[in-house]
Amino acid sequence: MQNKINGAQAINKAIYDSMLKSKKVLCFGLGVTDPKGVFGTTLGLENKFGRKRVFDTPTSENAMTGVGIGLSIGGFRPIMVHQRLDFFILALDQLINSAAKFYYMYGGNVNVPLVIRLIIGRGWGQGPTHSQSLINLFASIPGLKVVSPSSASSAYKLLVQSIEDPNPVVFIEHRWIHGYFDFVDNLNVKISKLSDIDITNYGNELAIISTSYYSHEARIAADILNKNNIRIKVIDILTIKPLNENKIVSELKKIKKILILDIGFEVCSLAGHLSNLIQTKFPKDKITIKIIDSGDLSEPTSHYLTKSYYKNYEDIIKASCRMLDIKFHYKNRSQVKYHDIPNKDFQGPF
């Protein structure tokens, strides 16, 4: 049965269904029992499953991560929630030196089935310390799996799979997908190895490779271009690590122009890795690759400066047409009144 729900409701449903399925699934972290329930993603869970399975914690990121690792080793499957990725930086010691290493250090005899939800995304002048998309940082750590949904349906599927996975998974969700609606089918989640890539295929004139919220913008751009007989394929990387390189390469056959959207920073990036992968796999082909990312620059706080910092589907359309050498005069039809507000209910940074 399919239900049309938004991203926040999809995440809530994934946690609810997983906790209903197994008493070993716990949900804890800063704000999970607050009235707003971390943007609505944890609402109702405490009432249904009780305080022993759904609980708030003191503001000590490193300590609460240690608790999550201990619970995981003890046979539980905890979901640890952070309202901002930026705050979780304080827990990198526990993440890198413990959660990511135990399976390797103990010869495969110790699993850490811990899901760490980290929320990213701009809004209301949050600036350089409250809006960082450090996906590339986590993807560089051996022993971690990293996923990032781009819609309600992918959020539900990825979170259920992450909870079932025997390894530590960093689940990076963009704040802006919380408000977008999609059809979610809870009967269609196959518990398999995390390696998801979603394809929107209108043709082979140009391929857009993207992840997280940028995939949402890429699909809008591709749909507009397709209606004007410009055929675009969108490759949405949902599982960033492990990266399904074989599927990506197979989807790029016969495509000579590739636009890569990276929500992270320029140096040591996913986009750079993908560019290298493509050129290595197709060494004799004349392939043109363009990358759109955040450069080597943190987000400014100013409402006016952030207008040029973040890209949307209109920027993607322009970049695509330049690569294809097409003069396509797209009239600005953006429905977003304010570029730094994810939805009409948004009233502040948290």
**pLDDT, tens only, 60-99:** 999 999 999 999 999 999 999 998 999 999 999 999 999 9
Residues 6+ apart with CB under 8 A from 205: 230, 231, 232, 255, 257, 324
On the 0-12 / 13-18 / 19+ scale of CB atoms within 10 A, 69 is buried
Q: How far apart are CA 104 and CA 84, in angstroms?
A: 29
Helices (H), 54-168: 61-73, 85-88, 92-94, 102-105, 135-139, 152-164
Q: Write the CB contacts of 107 (distance below 8 Å, at least 6 apart in sequence).
A: none
Overall pTM > 0.85:
yes
The pLDDT of residue 337: 60
**Residue whose token pair is 């899901």:** 115
Q: What domains lie within the chain, and their CATH numbers?
A: 2-185 (3.40.50.970), 197-324 (3.40.50.920)
CB-CB contact of 122 with 303 (8 Å): no
Q: Which residues contact 175 (CB under 8 A, 6 or more apart)?
A: 39, 119, 120, 121, 122, 123, 342
The C-alpha R_g of the chain, in whole angstroms, comes to 20
Cα(340)–Cα(310) distance, integer angstroms? 9
Is the peptide bond prior to 142 cis by the omega test (within 30 degrees of 0)? no
State which residues of the chain have pLDDT below 50.
none
Q: At how many degrees (to 10) do helices 7-21 and 152-164 cross?
A: 30
Q: Is 54 helix (H, G, I), strand (E, B) or coil?
A: strand
Cα dihedral 81, 347, 238, 140, rounded to 10, equals -60
Residue 77, phi then psi, degrees to nearest 5: -125, 80
Q: Are 176 and 342 in contact (CB under 8 A)?
A: yes
- Based on the number of CB atoms within 10 Å of its own CB, is 104 exposed (0-12), middle (13-18) or buried (19 or more)? exposed
SS3 content of the chain, % helix, strand, coil (to 5): 35, 20, 45
- Confidence at residue 334, expressed as pLDDT on a 0 to 100 scale: 54
Pairing of strands 115-120, 197-201: unpaired
The whole-number pLDDT of residue 339 equals 75
Summarised one tens digit per residue, pLDDT across range 318-345 is: 999 999 999 877 666 555 566 777 776 6
Which pLDDT does position 306 carry in this prediction?
Answer: 84
Place of tokens 């349906």: 153
Contacts of 325 (CB under 8 A, 6+ apart): none
The distance from CA 207 to its chain's CA centroid, rounded to whole angstroms, is 20
What are the structure tokens assigned to 171, written together?
Answer: 């689940």
Are 127 and 300 spatial neighbours (Cβ–Cβ below 8 Å)?
Answer: yes
Say which residue the tokens 């940028």 belong to. Answer: 214
Report the b/e string of 326-339 with b at 16+ CB within 10 A.
Answer: eeeeeeeeeeeeeb
Side-chain half-sphere exposure of 281, counting CA atoms within 13 A: 18
